[in-house]
Amino acid sequence: MPQTARSVQQVSRPSGRPTGAEFRFVDGPVPAPGPGTALVENVLLSVDPYMRENMDGDWALAAPLEGRSIGRVTASRTHGLTEGDLVFHRQGWRTHAVVRPEEVRVLPQAPGVPAEAYLGILGGTGLTAYVALTRIARIEPGETVYVSAAAGGVGSAAGQLARLMGAGRVVGSAGSPAKVRFLVEELGFDAAFDHREGRLAEQLAKAAPEGIDVYIDNVGGEHLEAAIGAMREYGRIAWCGAIAQYDASEPPPAPRNLFDLVGKSIRLEGFLVRNHRDAQEELERLLLPALAAGTVIDRHTVTEGFDGVVDAFLGMLDGRNTGKATVRVVAS
């Protein structure tokens, strides 16, 4: 076992887009587990869009950071965890963590399902997409679904889940021609477009000429306005995130067509996935057979080595990832 534990702390608040100067790496001794706890060596770390909002105040400065993580128990002083167990927990941005059994989930070993899936389509990322479609938008078979940031972790999960749930047409927007090809050729989207290549409203109208019933919003701003314009009557919008405005110094103006929510009887609802953790078993029942059969894929952009965690986070904010952005600390 390494004799040094490494962690990342936030030392300043960002003004606009983070640069990396807001973080520092800290070295220290590997912690020893006390009675009722276990030592976990982290294997995989997740970097996610919500962390950008945490930087503005939810994360304390010069303190350990929160993040979804998968690690292996290397020493245990509790009957609830055994050396060698692979566990999910939320003490990310570090190489080692001391945990209690109630703070972790021992991951099941499912044939054909790698551990990183529990940070991706089987983790909070996939659960966000699942809740958006089932509990917020309440998708019905045959409906047309539009997903923004569709080549990211939540977006790529949402598109595939919509197809599994019987969507009649799945449309996505992404930030490059390569990502557009990924959506159509690998994930099975019916249509996709590069939002940088023209007016969003026009591109969406071309991709969904008969309108949309459900919008999974990961971006906000102009994407939300275009989706409202394309909505059919009684459409539903599940608002997961607004990555387009996280770095804004002032709140952006509301969509100019916001009152169309009234005229079209559209429902817009935001949510936090942490309030829907009871849906995890439903998600796994749906996805485990599909993952094992290869009919659903869980693409990750993996950064190798703990030293790359800040770069992985900044790259995710810049849209350099396809699928879920993760960091491999050590081989699992």
**pLDDT digits over 9-29, tens only?**
999 999 999 999 999 999 999
Whether 325 shows a pLDDT value over 90: the answer reads yes
In a domain, 27, yes or no: yes
What tens digit of pLDDT does each residue of 162-220 get? 999 999 999 999 999 999 999 999 999 999 999 999 999 999 999 999 999 999 999 99
Tell me what the mean pLDDT of segment 57-61 comes to: 96
In a domain, 283, yes or no: no
Contact assessment for residue 154 and residue 121, using Cβ atoms and an 8 Å cutoff = no
Whether residues 115 and 12 share a domain: the answer is yes
In a domain, 293, yes or no: no
pLDDT band, very low/low/confident/very high, at 1 (cuts 50, 70, 90): very low
In a domain, 262, yes or no: yes
Q: Are strands 324-328 and 191-194 parallel, antiparallel or unpaired?
A: unpaired
Whether residues 132 and 222 share a domain: the answer is yes
Contact assessment for residue 128 and residue 240, using Cβ atoms and an 8 Å cutoff = yes
Give the integer Cα–Cα distance in Å for 158 and 322: 14
**Residue span of the structural domain in which 191 resides:** 124-274
Please give the mean pLDDT across all residues of the chain: 95
In a domain, 291, yes or no: no
Contact assessment for residue 178 and residue 319, using Cβ atoms and an 8 Å cutoff = no
- Quote the pLDDT of residue 2: 53
From 165, 105, 108, 173, select the one nearest 140 (Cα to Cα). 165
Read off the CATH number of the domain in which 204 is found: 3.40.50.720
Contact assessment for residue 207 and residue 144, using Cβ atoms and an 8 Å cutoff = no
Whether residues 131 and 175 share a domain: the answer is yes
Residue found under tokens 């640069």: 19
Whether residues 61 and 181 share a domain: the answer is no
What tens digit of pLDDT does each residue of 211-250 get? 999 999 999 999 999 999 999 999 999 999 888 777 776 7
Whether residues 13 and 110 share a domain: the answer is yes
What tens digit of pLDDT does each residue of 136-166 get? 999 999 999 999 999 999 999 999 999 999 9
Phi, psi of 62 (to 5 degrees): 55, 40
From 121, 110, 164, 116, select the one nearest 139 (Cα to Cα). 164
What tens digit of pLDDT does each residue of 253-271 get? 779 999 999 999 999 999 9
Contact assessment for residue 139 and residue 214, using Cβ atoms and an 8 Å cutoff = yes
**Which tokens is 160 given?**
């595939």
Give the integer Cα–Cα distance in Å for 39 and 191: 47
Q: Which residues of 53-79 are buried (b: 16+ CB within 10 A; e: fewer)?
A: eebeeebeeeebbebbbbbbbbbbebe
Total domains present in the chain: 2
Contact assessment for residue 67 and residue 47, using Cβ atoms and an 8 Å cutoff = yes
- Quote the pLDDT of residue 42: 98
> What SS3 state is found at 75?
strand
Whether residues 226 and 320 share a domain: the answer is no
Contact assessment for residue 252 and residue 258, using Cβ atoms and an 8 Å cutoff = no
pTM, 2 dp: 0.93
> What SS3 state is found at 49?
coil
Tell me what the mean pLDDT of segment 39-62 comes to: 96
